[in-house]
Chain A
Amino acid sequence: MTTEFPSTPTSDLWKPNRQRSQRVELIVKLIFGAFAFVSIVTTLGIIETLIFETFKFFQEVSLWQFLTDDKWTPLFKSAKFGIFVLISATVMTSTIAILVALPLGLLSAICLSEYATPKVRGILKPALEILAGVPTVVYGYFALLFVTPLLQKFVPGLQGFNALSAGMVLGIMITPLVASLSEDAIYSVPRSLRDGAYALGATKRETITSVVLPAALSGIVSSLILAISRAIGETMIVTLAAGQNPRLGLNPLVPVMTMTAFIVQVSLGDTPAGSLAYKTIYAVGMTLFTITLALNVFSFWFVRRFREKYE
């Protein structure tokens, strides 16, 4: 159906140009759709790159060596590729980090959502979030040049580079993540559950520990897992403060080398593409990617499986 317009001199201005606007819309839609596709391409790119170079790595080094060697010396003449040397360091720093972040983050979350008045909460929450916005290289500086000298006064035998202070500062870094995600979970527990507990004679602490926290458990656990995954992938703190000495074992007082620190060490040197060292950082990256991806997927699954739904 065509629309009749009065034939005045300006009538052309009023004519709708549907075809043109539909064409424009289609073009915009295609372009923006392509933009949305960039995220898929990024993922594929990451996976392709890692698999491609890791595959070439395993043509020179056997998987058996990679998993069972007890030394990590890929840059030496007698190269050894025991990935568990690096994994042990990563596990150690992340464990220390979570030992710091779990009590700090969870208790802060409880404080913010249960005890603080809305006004105080409005001040404290952004203040805690500043901690999350501090660049990690700043934390590295703090760990190496403030926390380590401080700890050396109390902990005998603590070396200049060590997993302990790196892990503790890592824990401070992920505390806001734990706090804010756990707080969301705790906050969304409905009031009626709390009222029920009060009506049964429970005190506020009893209500929190035996009713609210169990109800928010899925959110809390998933926040912890995400925080662990963040700690495992963190680079600058452990590179600066934990050192560059690949060492198998769980002694937090001596220098160690995490997976991320190794990638940085190789990247700082001049590594020609195609060399074994170049392939090695991709093999290490692949290991790191697999571990963090598994943790993230597990966290999503956990929330879906165990979330308590209240209407």
Chain B
Amino acid sequence: MTIDNPQNFGSDRPSEASNFNINLAGRYKLDRIFESLTWIAVAIALLVLATLIIDVLADGLPRLSWDFLNNFPSRKPEQAGLKSALFGTIWVMSVVAAVSFPLGVGAGIFLEEFAGDNWLTRIIEININNLAGVPSIIYGLLGLQVFVRYMEPLTGGRSILSGGFTLALLILPIIIVSTREALRAVPDSLRLAGFALGANRWQVVREHVFPLAIPGILTGTILALSRAIGDTAPLITIGALTFISFLPEGLQSPFTVLPIQVFNWVSRPQREFHDNAAAGIIVLMVVLLLMNATAVFLRNRFQKKAS
């Protein structure tokens, strides 16, 4: 029996004895280099994140003040503020939450609990996977045509309602998927116990399965909403304005949101507006951080209750 050269492992040709050279020291050296490379890759990614945060804080913190939050946008950078953008974000996100939560959770419950494994559910499943991969700006084009143009009498054109609907469609796949995952995590024995007591499927879902799945569903929903808050492209496409010096009066009023205000300030040439943009980014990131913290908090709280 011949001994194969371990370095030629996998090749069919038997190696010649003179090639046999374990060279452990060299291979271990390569190993160490390789391992350091992987650590360097992680370090670079985290370093970029740190640089980004420090850069934004350094530029934006001096600009951050109560006036900045409480002023309307202005042509003078030192007087410009976020008020209309903050209120716009709150309005739009309320619409998004009110539309996407019931739709997404309902669809998730239907697919997971009511619908069996048939061709229709499989089509819906493939479709949801594909929708998650559609660029967000395409949703903007859909919203522009359907909500802004076709449904203008209802939505009032380029309004909060149109923006909210568009973003709700964008995050619907995320909510559906996380609802299904949360429902799947509930053990089947609970459902069987419910059926054994004579409850029908909806009663079992409502009374036993859903309450246990709530933490997972809420976490997924909040994470989806935090994606919607930061997404700018679809709202620009449906025509959210960049300069609004009044508060929204209703669902049909024109609006601006935080990321669009930031986008507007970044794309101006003056340096002072760039600092405003950095301050706006800090506000946006703080909102995102709060939402994510809420998600974690809710999850922990409900998990304790359920056990």
Where the two chains meet, the residues of A that have a C-beta atom closer than 8 Å to any C-beta of B are: 16, 21-22, 24-25, 28-29, 31-33, 35-40, 42-43, 45-46, 49-50, 52-53, 103-108, 110-112, 114-115, 124, 127-128, 130-131, 133-142, 144-146, 172, 175-176, 179, 200-206, 208-210, 226, 229-230, 232-236, 239-240, 260, 263-264, 267-268, 273, 281-282, 285, 288-289, 292-293, 296-297, 300
Contact = CB atoms under 8 A, between A and B. Distances in A.
B145 A49 contact: yes
Contact of A268 (B124, B236, B284, B285): B236
Contacts of A292: 133-135
B30 A142 contact: no
A97 B141 CA distance: 25
Interface of B: 6, 9-10, 22, 27-28, 30-31, 34-35, 37-42, 44-46, 48-49, 51-52, 55-56, 59, 102-104, 106-107, 109-111, 114-115, 123-124, 127-131, 133-142, 144-146, 149, 169, 172-173, 176, 198, 200-203, 226-227, 229-233, 236-239, 242, 259, 262-263, 266-267, 274, 277-278, 281, 284-285, 288, 292
B78 to A, nearest CB: 19
B51 A146 contact: yes
B106 A229 contact: no
B43 to A, nearest CB: 9
Contact of A233 (B31, B138, B200, B227): B138
Contacts of B278: 141
Given A36-B124, A133-B288, A136-B232, A42 B172 contact: yes
A232 B135 contact: yes
Contacts of B227: 133
Given A137-B263, A230-B135, 14 more contacts: A21-B200, A32-B106, A35-B104, A36-B110, A39-B173, A108-B42, A111-B41, A136-B233, A140-B266, A141-B56, A204-B35, A233-B136, A285-B138, A288-B137
Contact of B115 (A33, A112, A202): A33
A43 B127 contact: yes
A211 to B, nearest CB: 9
A200 B127 CA distance: 45
B110 A29 contact: yes
Nearest to B35: A115
A260 B169 CA distance: 19
Contact of B201 (A25, A106, A230): A25
Contacts of A144: 266
A38 B230 contact: no
A111 B44 CA distance: 13
A138 B56 contact: yes
A50 B139 CA distance: 11
Given A53-B145, A281-B141, A32 B6 contact: no
Contacts of A40: 123-124, 127
A296 B134 CA distance: 9
B46 A127 contact: yes
A43 B49 CA distance: 35
Of listed A49, A53, A175, A209, residue having the most chain B CB within 10 A: A49
Given A104-B41, A236-B232, A282 B141 contact: yes
A131 B45 contact: yes
Contacts, number: 262
A104 B276 CA distance: 32
Contacts of A137: 230, 232, 259, 262-263, 266, 281
Nearest to A296: B133
A63 B63 CA distance: 51
A208 B34 CA distance: 10
Given A45-B146, A200-B6, A206-B27, A138 B52 contact: yes
B49 to A, nearest CB: 5
Contact of A240 (B28, B109, B263): B263
B262 A128 contact: no
6 contacts: A31-B106, A46-B139, A124-B42, A128-B45, A145-B55, A293-B133
